[in-house]
């Protein structure tokens, strides 16, 4: 995978000093994942800064202070949620982009992949949607800005290629189109519920039909 969003410490939290003896790194990625999932839901539902650590703890069934056994801070939870999500997202995207498809097929694949990610990381996507602009400015979350740049390059490039190859309408404002397409895909995280009427692939299909061919009946 090319663009890891960031290098993360595998497992335990930061230990101040390995010092003299043995105190090994704390494993138990299972509990960690559980807690992160809970935190992600709460962040997604109420917004990061409106979410209290105590709320997360309540939801997870422990006391607020106990979260700090597993995480350094509220922010580090957010960080881990987002970076984990982006790592997986880019694994999928990079595979699509490396497949050598035509513009239309690439768009289709990217959209489908996006809805799949929404299906699996609904909360993380919602958080990303709501918080990334403010976060991207801070050094710790610099990888968000990186990701955004890569993202734009991938979509914009594909759209331009499509126009050049005559697959997409020539009068398209690609930049504008890119924004429309990007936003509509991701904003779906705010209403999508896994296990609902439509699976991600079905939603992708409907969405692609609209974007590619429009909703109007052809004259």
33 lies in the site for DNA, by CB under 7 A: no
Cβ proximity to a copy of itself: between 144 and 203 the closer is: 203
Stretch in the footprint of a copy of itself (CB under 8 A) among 4-12, 76-84, 93-101, 130-138? 130-138
Q: How far is CA 112 from CA 171, 176, 205, in A?
A: 25, 21, 8
Q: Could you say which of DNA, a copy of itself, none residue 2 binds, taking C-beta under 5 to 8 angstroms by partner kind? A: none
Stretch in the footprint of DNA (CB under 7 A) among 51-59, 131-139, 153-161, 200-208? 51-59
Q: Which of 47, 65, 194, 196 binds DNA (CB under 7 A)?
A: 65
24 lies in the site for DNA, by CB under 7 A: yes
Angle, nearest 10°, between helix axes 74-97 and 53-60?
Answer: 80
Cβ proximity to DNA: between 27 and 102 the closer is: 27
Nearest distance from residue 187's CB to a copy of itself, in Å? 4
Type and span of the H or E element at 118 = helix 103-120
Is residue 147 a contact partner of residue 3, using CB atoms and an 8 Å limit? yes
Q: How far is CA 37 from CA 44, 125, 182, 219, in A?
A: 11, 12, 25, 49
134 lies in the site for a copy of itself, by CB under 8 A: yes
Q: Could you say which of DNA, a copy of itself, none residue 167 binds, taking C-beta under 5 to 8 angstroms by partner kind? A: a copy of itself
Q: How does 36-59 read in b/e, with b if 16+ C-beta sit within 10 Å?
A: bebbbbbbbeeebeebebebbbee
Cβ proximity to a copy of itself: between 16 and 195 the closer is: 16
């Amino acid at each position: 995978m090319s663009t890891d969003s960031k290098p993360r410490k595998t497992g335990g939290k930061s230990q101040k000093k390995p010092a003299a003896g043995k105190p090994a790194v704390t494993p138990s990625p299972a509990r960690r994942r559980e807690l992160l999932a809970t935190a992600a839901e709460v962040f997604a539902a109420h917004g990061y800064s409106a979410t209290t650590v105590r709320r997360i703890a309540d939801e997870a069934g422990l006391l607020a202070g106990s979260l700090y056994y597993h995480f350094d801070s509220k922010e580090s939870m957010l960080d881990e949620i987002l970076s984990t999500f982006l790592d997986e997202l880019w694994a999928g995207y990079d595979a699509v982009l490396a497949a050598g498809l035509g513009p239309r097929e690439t768009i289709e694949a990217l959209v489908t992949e996006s809805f799949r990610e929404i299906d699996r990381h609904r909360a993380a996507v919602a958080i990303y949607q709501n918080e990334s602009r403010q976060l991207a400015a801070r050094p710790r979350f610099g990888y968000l800005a990186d990701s955004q740049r890569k993202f734009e390059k991938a979509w914009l490039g594909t759209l331009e290629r499509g126009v050049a190859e005559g697959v997409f309408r020539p009068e398209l404002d690609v930049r504008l189109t890119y924004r429309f397409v990007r936003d509509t895909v991701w904003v779906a995280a705010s209403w999508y519920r896994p296990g609902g009427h439509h699976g991600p692939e079905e939603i992708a299909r409907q969405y692609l039909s609209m974007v590619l061919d429009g909703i109007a009946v052809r004259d």
